[in-house]
Amino acid sequence: MSDFTIIINDPPYGSERPYNALRLANSLIKKEDILVTVFLMGDAVTCAGRGQKTPDGYYNIERMLKPVVRRGRVLLCGTCMDARGMKEENIAEGCKRSTLDELTDLTISSDKVLVF
C-alpha cells in the first residue's frame, strides 16, 4: 500500500491549484493499493465549505472532494478554520477537522507528500 498526502494551500477559486490537486487525488484513488489524504491549510480550508454554488459548466471544488472522502480522507487544519471563522457544521460531509500534529504524523508516515 502506498500513502500519498496532498497538501493544498490556496482558496477554492481564483487559482487552479486546488482544482489540479483534486484532479490528481481523484486519479490516484482509482488505483489499487493507494491511500490518499488531502490536507487543507490556510485559505484552502474554504475548499471544504458546504453548499458551494458555481455557474453551470464551472468546476465545483466541494463536489470534487466527495470521491476523495469516499475512498480516502479530507482533513482541515483546525487553526486555519478558526482563523477564518469556519465551524465544523459548515464543512462538507465526510471532511474532518484536524491538527498540525496529525499533519506532522502524516508527513512522516506517507510515501509521498505533494504540496499545491
Q: Per-residue confidence of the chain (116 residues) as pLDDT tens digits? A: 899 999 999 999 999 999 999 999 999 999 999 999 999 999 999 999 999 998 888 899 999 999 999 999 999 999 999 999 999 999 999 999 999 999 999 999 999 999 99
Whole-number pLDDT of residue 56: 84
Whole-number pLDDT of residue 55: 83
Domains along the chain with CATH numbers: 2-115 (3.40.1260.10)
Cell, residue 42: 490556510
Whole-number pLDDT of residue 44: 98
Measure the CA dihedral 9/17/39/43, to 10°: 30
Whole-number pLDDT of residue 58: 85
The rounded Cα 96 to chain-centroid distance in angstroms is 10
Predicted structure pTM score? 0.95
How far is residue 38's CA from residue 115's CA, in Å, rounded to a whole number?
Answer: 10
